[in-house]
Amino acid sequence: MPYIYWDSTYILVVIGAVICMIASARVKTTFNKYSAYRSMSGMTGAQAAERILHAAGIYDVRVQHVSGNLTDHYNPANKTLNLSDSVCNQTSVAAVGVAAHECGHAIQHARGYVPLRLRTAFVPIANFGSMLAWPVIILGVIINSRSSMMLINIGILLFSFAVLFQLITLPVEFDASRRAMVQLREQGILGDQELHYTGKVLTAAALTYVASAAAAILQLLRIVLLFGGRSRDD
């Protein structure tokens, strides 16, 4: 039987995983629930997106369909607003809400919203940090020399970049949802009760980002507890 190492800090990983699973389950359940409510305007997600973008004076963003379920995203690099199977051609209040949220990101981009610019610039740094953090930490543990603590600290710093990216993402996502609700109301795409339903969908979606940030912070805490107090003689 293979030996499986366990230490008490694993509980932090478990807590983070459970938080993420609960948030993911909630957004799927909420989206599916309000996907059964057809919007009174009868507009599809794609049509709602086009109206919101044009009302905001944005004509250089292309709305297009992408495969998958809730794979919706705005790509600032090529100015495309990508809507999934469950959103693009669907007329539910959930679909319209998600499409409007992605329009919120397009509006942020057009207006030069600072947190979005910061997040976009931080993507390569966060990817670099998350990719190299553990290898650098493990190398520091293995070599057991004068450089060990330096390498471990570098690894912790690298992982901190990934955590910081998660934190930067939060205001970006919440602001996009706020902009979405404003546009849906001002453009008359959804009525008051429909906006209430859509707000539930967007809140559930936002909580997935909160959960991801919490899980990343817990993982960072685990790394610090495991390696942050090491000395050269450990």
pLDDT tens per residue across span 32-51: 999 999 999 999 999 999 99
**Whole-angstrom Cα distance, residue 136 to residue 150?**
10
Q: Please, which pLDDT band fits residue 227 given cuts at 50, 70 and 90?
A: confident
| 50 included as an active-site residue | no
Predicted pLDDT at 2: 44
Bridge-partner residues for 80, per DSSP? Answer: 62, 75
Nearest one of 47, 176, 50, 182 to 107, comparing CA atoms: 176
Q: Are 101 and 208 in contact (CB under 8 A)?
A: no
Nearest one of 131, 132, 99, 106 to 120, comparing CA atoms: 106
**Whole-angstrom Cα distance, residue 182 to residue 131?**
38
Of 102, 173, 186, 194, catalytic: 102
| pTM across the whole model | 0.88
Residue 32's Cβ-count burial label (10 Å; 0-12, 13-18, 19+) is middle
Predicted pLDDT at 6: 62
